[in-house]
Structure 1
């Protein structure tokens, strides 16, 4: 079977430009509104959390719970969203997520209370809204990359799937700019934080109506016996001869899978599937343990700890969003040119080095030194740029590629669940961590974690670039992917 699939890969006609490429571009743009919402909802807290805590009378633990609740809910949303997308389809799931985004925004914006007085009802409404947003964010983090990966030709799958991560960092930048603009114009007191959150409702509406006109994933359609619909979708995003050849390749593997176990039963019955899900979960956790979301959630707080005023920190915070977008553009250009493993190792080496430099700079430049906040800002900007250029996009693309079709949503969901759970732990304790051990202790901890992450990737993560999803699937199911990994480790240090 492995030889059959690979022969089909070799026989696929070359991808030529044409109307199908424009259609694929439109589909990816609409779907990536889910990534934009993901980014805005994770980024809006960075700048809004201070005014929100002041207005609602929240202490540090309550604030940490409000921020972390999104990540914990996202963990559940990733797992549930992946399973639901396997059951009802990628497109319908994204439409449901758009509704959840809108409901979550309404709950947050209209939560009762204010004036610096704590309200249990207001806190409950706010927490509920963040949980609903988290479910939507987690679902989008799983379903949108899978949807794009299953629609994209393997030659450009990395750049097409990676557009979602670019949309995420663009959403975070938009949140930083909106927060800074509103704070500059209206100040940072009172109900201003509600306006910051309310902006998120706009792309949610566009995502809902846009996805109503988008097609379903052709691979999901084949998996569910809807061959003609799958061919129609493929012919809309491929040349006709390529569409038919690719459909035949997908059908061969789907036929074999229909005779065996699917979903969770397939996972627990195959040690190689268990292994690859464990590696995927580990990679997702590593992405969070770089501390990137700690910066995206609490970047302004880190800059204040370095010596900036709150006003300076909110404005300087925009630089994180700018370099994240620039790094995302660079990552997209390199996604189909540089192997995933090499990208991971370069990225982790750079981010780990910046962790060490930030920790060292905060020791050598004590509090009160006028250069300290600006040196820390430059180094943290370097960290964010390295993360977005080499890690964030590549991790989500790899996760969307590696799992077999019959459990792709489940496998991705498990990996994303683990990552979001770790992100929730960090979001809950980072404000307290920064206050107790400062920038030095926080970034030194991230440095040691980074060293372990490099070893993990070097030894365990296989390559996926330049392979069809079907060829990768066969290697994962049979365990051949692990033999390839050993060869990669020997020849690609």
Structure 2
């Protein structure tokens, strides 16, 4: 049973857990709803006959249709890639609040351009809208979880950051089901396909409208030497007077932490960049963190997210309504598994074990699906009903989802947040977000051509990559659970290996605490170290 009780780092007045911090976090997490929705709806929308009719795609050859579909989907990831990079300077110079406002405005402009596309305008304006929407999402995917982590009291930080992950998955479920709804209840027409595109404006608009009501992060204000406003904002968020002992202590720790970070990375925009680039160990960790997103995409998740109708058609699911229903169930399974991961698995099984189990189980499922398609060739024997073999393939697809969602879905972001010190984390997070969107772009850009040219080989390809990822995780990814941030360097020390680093470091920790209890060691953490350890942010992005 997951423990949902608050574990406080100090005696905390109940006023700290008021509606104010929850409302601010909820407004920011609307960014995750628009991210999840946009990632889910597009593949099913462009598969609708009404969309193809609107833009004269029914007469296109398979190769031409593949190229157009790939362009519509991948333009979004290209925008996300550059947006996630822009999110770093925007967040540094303009803050989290105004940065999210910019993201919401840009997103709404892009969504409006897509809605204005028609047979009269052609697809050019659609491509432009997809890129602009991606820019907004890239910025939001960088700033929203940072903002939530910075305003949250330590005892509920995981819960509030978890709201971001849940909103992402909720947006995905809505995106998968919206097209099923319009297919069932609206006749094939311009109205049918445009509804799903127009729904993008709801979460984007709510973010844009809500951001002026947000309270800027006190921590950001201290980094800009606006300490007076920072104290007022912290007092408001905690629902306590500015001279309350709890506020005085927390604010002093924020000031000490920022001063400590400046001493390590140097002041200014390029301080964290220079720190990472000058440290070989940090560069290696950055490459490790980015590589986890390459392996995440190697599971095939974004091929499924963006082209789910194509995936189910290859298994033998015919009819747009049936295909969209099957896709909607996929979204629901992802949501449920993400909740189980958040509330229980990630802290119980650990990051490393989850990744290896997810890859091993997912590989078996993908191999089965590929073998079924190779033997049965359902695309060449299309029928209105799915036979027993087809049903078993769908079952293994859902089983693959059960293996993927509580493992590779969010765990790479947890590891990426934990292996970097606080004073460089905003920069490394931007790099990992950019890497995530870059790999998603590559998968989205070439998936239609892969299915056309490789057939069942696509499943064998992703399955084989998952097998390789098991060995990658075993040899290069140390377990990070229960290891304080201040001892993270020990997991990457030359005298330990990834497969035994956790046991060695936790063993040292145990000996240290035993010695302290016996009076051999007096351990008095400085405010800087304490603050840095407390601010380990479990920032969870997924597909």
- State the TM-score bracket (shorter-chain normalisation): 0.7 to 0.9
Aligned to 1:224: 224
Larger proportion of helix: 1
Structure 1 contact 86–407 (Cα < 8 Å) conserved? no
Q: Which runs of 5+ in 1 are unaligned?
A: 1-9, 115-120
Does 2:284 match 1:275? yes
Which secondary structure state, in structure 2, belongs to the residue aligned with residue 122 of structure 1?
A: coil
Q: CA deviation at 1:491?
A: 6.4
342, 358, 365: which one aligns with 1:347: 358
Aligned to 1:118: none
Structure 1 contact 90–216 (Cα < 8 Å) conserved? yes
27, 32, 35: which one aligns with 1:35: 32
Structure 2 contact 77–438 (Cα < 8 Å) conserved? yes
Aligned to 1:129: 129
Aligned to 2:109: 103
Q: Tell which deviates more after alignment, 378-387 or 241-250.
A: 241-250
Q: Distance in 1 between matches of 2:252 and 2:214?
A: 23
Structure 1 contact 461–485 (Cα < 8 Å) conserved? no
Q: Distance in 1 between matches of 2:258 and 2:175?
A: 42
Structure 2 contact 478–499 (Cα < 8 Å) conserved? no
Aligned to 1:208: 208
Aligned to 1:307: 316
Structure 1 contact 91–217 (Cα < 8 Å) conserved? yes
Q: Distance in 2 between matches of 1:171 and 1:444?
A: 30
Q: Check 1:152–1:395 CA distance in 2 against 1; reply closer, same or farther (3 A cut).
A: farther
Does 2:292 match 1:288? no
Q: Check 1:57–1:202 CA distance in 2 against 1; reply closer, same or farther (3 A cut).
A: same
Aligned to 1:411: 428
Q: Check 1:67–1:346 CA distance in 2 against 1; reply closer, same or farther (3 A cut).
A: same
Q: Tell which deviates more after alignment, 395-404 or 424-433.
A: 395-404
Q: Distance in 2 between matches of 1:17 and 1:455?
A: 47
Aligned to 2:332: 322
Structure 2 contact 40–175 (Cα < 8 Å) conserved? yes
Structure 2 contact 219–230 (Cα < 8 Å) conserved? yes
Q: Which runs of 5+ in 2 are unaligned?
A: 1-6, 58-64, 504-543
Does 2:458 match 1:459? no
Q: CA deviation at 1:373?
A: 3.3
Aligned to 1:3: none
Q: CA deviation at 1:243?
A: 4.9
Structure 1 contact 149–400 (Cα < 8 Å) conserved? no
Q: Tell which deviates more after alignment, 410-419 or 125-134.
A: 410-419
Q: Can you list the C-alpha shifts for 1:26-49, whole angstroms capped at 9, x where unaligned?
A: 222221110000011111113101
76, 81, 98: which one aligns with 2:82: 76
Q: CA deviation at 1:424?
A: 0.9
Q: Distance in 1 between matches of 2:154 and 2:365?
A: 34
With normalisation by structure 2, the TM-score equals 0.79
Q: CA deviation at 1:446?
A: 0.9
255, 258, 266: which one aligns with 2:259: 255
With normalisation by structure 1, the TM-score equals 0.86
Q: Check 1:392–1:365 CA distance in 2 against 1; reply closer, same or farther (3 A cut).
A: same
Q: Distance in 2 between matches of 1:68 and 1:142?
A: 19
Q: Tell which deviates more after alignment, 86-95 or 172-181.
A: 86-95
Q: Distance in 1 between matches of 2:13 and 2:368?
A: 46
Structure 1 contact 112–122 (Cα < 8 Å) conserved? yes
Does 2:56 match 1:46? no
Q: Can you list the C-alpha shifts for 1:91-116, whole angstroms capped at 9, x where unaligned?
A: 211111111111111100102426xx
Aligned to 2:397: 380
Q: Check 1:212–1:131 CA distance in 2 against 1; reply closer, same or farther (3 A cut).
A: same
Q: Check 1:256–1:199 CA distance in 2 against 1; reply closer, same or farther (3 A cut).
A: same
Q: Tell which deviates more after alignment, 383-392 or 340-349.
A: 340-349
Q: Check 1:358–1:420 CA distance in 2 against 1; reply closer, same or farther (3 A cut).
A: same
Structure 1 contact 94–211 (Cα < 8 Å) conserved? yes
434, 445, 468: which one aligns with 2:451: 434
Aligned to 2:183: 183
Q: CA deviation at 1:461?
A: 3.3
Q: Distance in 1 between matches of 2:414 and 2:188?
A: 38
Q: Check 1:251–1:91 CA distance in 2 against 1; reply closer, same or farther (3 A cut).
A: same
Q: CA deviation at 1:444?
A: 1.1
Q: Tell which deviates more after alignment, 25-34 or 399-408.
A: 399-408
Structure 1 contact 83–409 (Cα < 8 Å) conserved? no
Aligned to 1:140: 140
Which secondary structure state, in structure 2, belongs to the residue aligned with residue 44 of structure 1?
A: helix
Aligned to 1:390: 407
Q: Which is greater in Rg?
A: 2
Q: Check 1:378–1:233 CA distance in 2 against 1; reply closer, same or farther (3 A cut).
A: farther
How many pairs were matched up?
471
Structure 2 contact 272–427 (Cα < 8 Å) conserved? yes
Q: Tell which deviates more after alignment, 227-236 or 411-420.
A: 227-236
